[in-house]
Amino acid sequence: MAFNLKGRSLLTLKDYSPEEITLLLELSHQVKREHRAGNLNQRFVGKTLALLFEKRSTRTRCAFETAFGEEGGHPVFLSSADIQLGAKESIEDTARVLGRMFDAIQFRGFKQEMVESLAEYSGVPVYNGLTDLYHPTQILADLMTVQEVFGTLKGIKLAFLGDGRNNVARSLLIGCSKMGTDYTVVAPDGLQPDSQTLELCREYAQRSGSKIEVTGDAKQGVKDADVLYTDVWVSMGEEEKSRERLETLRPYQVDEKMMAATGKSETIFMHCLPAVKGNEVTFEVIESAASRVWDEAENRKHTIKAVMLATI
Ligand code: CP
Ligand code: NVA
């Protein structure tokens, strides 16, 4: 292995170079091939993984549990309702205790500072399984899916429609700009990426050759896109914004007309899931032949396994 990622946490893709992301993706394809061929490996025997969840999850939890478990490791699921964290124990103390018992920790929750404190105080690799700000393991699965379909990340245009400043959109901005994938955020004012992240990613893009655009004009934004990507209009923790979002984001729904507006017959549809059919995407599009959402969901497992193999 040209790069040694042992002991590293994954808190945001900002911390990983394009070469390191490439390495993780190569390893992801390899573990997927192994899995398909029925090759069993036991690379996590005797290892333990703590899975901390403040927010709900289907894919992320199952990806971590199955990926770790089928390699012989022992994952332990800990929801906020079960542990002292948040009730009477601080994140620093929780981190130091978990670090003595586990080989790695996954955290899904609200504050990015929580996952950062876990990494700082535990002394073991910590994985961000989604915070209000970032969702890095999702983006690895997305990039892997794009590679499977198009054979490359360079020069592919991905347009994200909807809440362009949420955790998934922000993390896609980071991942695409690092990897040479053109990225257009198609979102109304107020739901576009923050200027700080945008500025940073324009620097990444300059190095990778990717083109970053932000527009409120859906027709213009999706033109020539190889991938239309969307996410829920209301992220976990923002439920009070529901009514307002439904109104503002209606013009950004991915329907068959939006797919056709790319002008490309090979455009695929992606979504991190869970999806609210009839809001951000129509039933017809998510169930169409252009939809890659199930491959994308499966790839969560292979990419998460690769991250753990590289870092533990
Ligand atoms: N995409 C994703 O993170 O799904 P879950 O919320 O089900 O984990
Ligand atoms: N933006 C969504 C992603 C869910 C996987 C949320 O945070 O709820």
Please report, to the nearest 10 degrees, the dihedral formed by the alpha carbons of residues 107, 110, 114, 118 taken in order: 0
State the closest ligand 2 atom to the C-alpha of 231, by its place in the atom list counted from 1. 1
- On whether residue 127 sits in a domain, the answer given is yes
| Residue 31: strand, helix, or coil | helix
Q: What is the CATH number of the domain that holds 122?
A: 3.40.50.1370
Distance 236 CA to ligand 2 centre (A): 6
Q: Is residue 8 part of a domain?
A: no
- Digit-by-digit pLDDT tens for the chain (312 residues) are 457 999 999 999 999 999 999 999 999 999 999 999 999 999 999 999 999 999 999 999 999 999 999 999 999 999 999 999 988 999 999 999 999 999 999 999 999 999 999 999 999 999 999 999 999 999 999 999 999 999 999 999 999 999 999 999 999 999 999 999 999 999 999 999 999 999 999 999 999 999 999 999 999 999 999 999 999 999 999 999 999 999 999 999 999 999 999 999 999 999 999 999 999 999 999 999 999 999 999 999 999 999 999 999
Total of domains in the chain:
2
Task: Report d(CA 59, CA 181) in Å as an integer.
Answer: 25
Give the pLDDT of residue 87: 81
* 158 and 289 housed in the same domain: yes
Residues 6+ positions from 2 with CB-CB distance below 8 Å:
19, 23
Residue identifier of the C-alpha nearest atom 6 of ligand 2: 235
CA 44/CA 219 separation, integer angstroms: 48
**Distance of alpha carbon 292 from alpha carbon 253, whole angstroms:** 17
Q: Are residues 164 and 89 in the same domain?
A: no
Task: State pLDDT tens for residues 124-134.
Answer: 999 999 999 99
Measured CA angle at 208 (ends 207, 209), to 5 deg: 95
AA letter at 265: S
Distance 58 CA to ligand 1 centre (A): 5
* Residue 276 shares a structural domain with residue 190: yes
Please check whether residues 167 and 52 belong to one and the same domain. Answer: no
**Which residue of the set 8, 59, 108, 245 is catalytic?**
108
Alpha-carbon dihedral angle through residues 131, 53, 10, 74, given to the nearest 10 degrees: -170
Domain hosting 195: range is: 138-297
